[in-house]
Amino acid sequence: MPNRPKRSHRRRITAAAMSAAAALPVVLALAGPLPASAAQLRTADPVRRGLDRLVREDRYPAALAAVTGRDGRTRNAAAGVADLRTGAKAPVDGQIRAASVTKSFTATVVLQLVGEGEVALDAPVDAYLPGLLRGDGIDGRRITVRQLLQHTSGLPDYTPYLDDLVANRHRYYEPRTLLDVALRHKAGFEPGTGWRYCNTDYVVAGLLIERVTGRPVGEEITRRVIDRVGLRHTYFPAQGEQTLRDTHPHGYVATKPDAPLLDVTEMDPSAAWAGGALISTPSELNRFFRALLDGELLHPGQLAQMRTTVAIPADAGYPPGTRFGLGLASYRLSCGGLMWGHDGDFLGYATYPFATDDGRAATIAVTADPGPTEHGRQHALRLASTGLCE
Residues that are catalytic: 100
Q: What are the Cα distances from residue 62, in Å, to 10, 126, 163?
A: 19, 45, 28
Number of CB atoms found within 10 A of residue 12's CB: 18
By C-alpha distance, which of 114, 103, 106, 105 is closest to 299?
A: 114
By C-alpha distance, which of 337, 352, 17 is closest to 162?
A: 17
Q: Find the length of the chain.
A: 390
By C-alpha distance, which of 318, 87, 113, 306 is closest to 197?
A: 318
Distance CA 371, CA 348 (A): 8
Q: What are the Cα distances from residue 78, in Å, to 120, 245, 271?
A: 43, 19, 29
By C-alpha distance, which of 12, 49, 6 is closest to 390?
A: 49
Torsion sign (Cα): 214, 217, 219, 222: positive
The answer to whether 137 and 153 have CB atoms below 8 angstroms apart is no
In DSSP notation, 55-106 reads: HHTS--SEEEEEEE-TTS-EEEEEEEBS-TTT-PBPPTT--EE-GGGHHHHH
Distance CA 355, CA 337 (A): 11
Distance CA 233, CA 248 (A): 11
Distance CA 214, CA 218 (A): 12
3-class secondary structure, 353: strand
Strands (E), 92-164: 96-97, 134-135, 138-139
Distance CA 55, CA 43 (A): 15
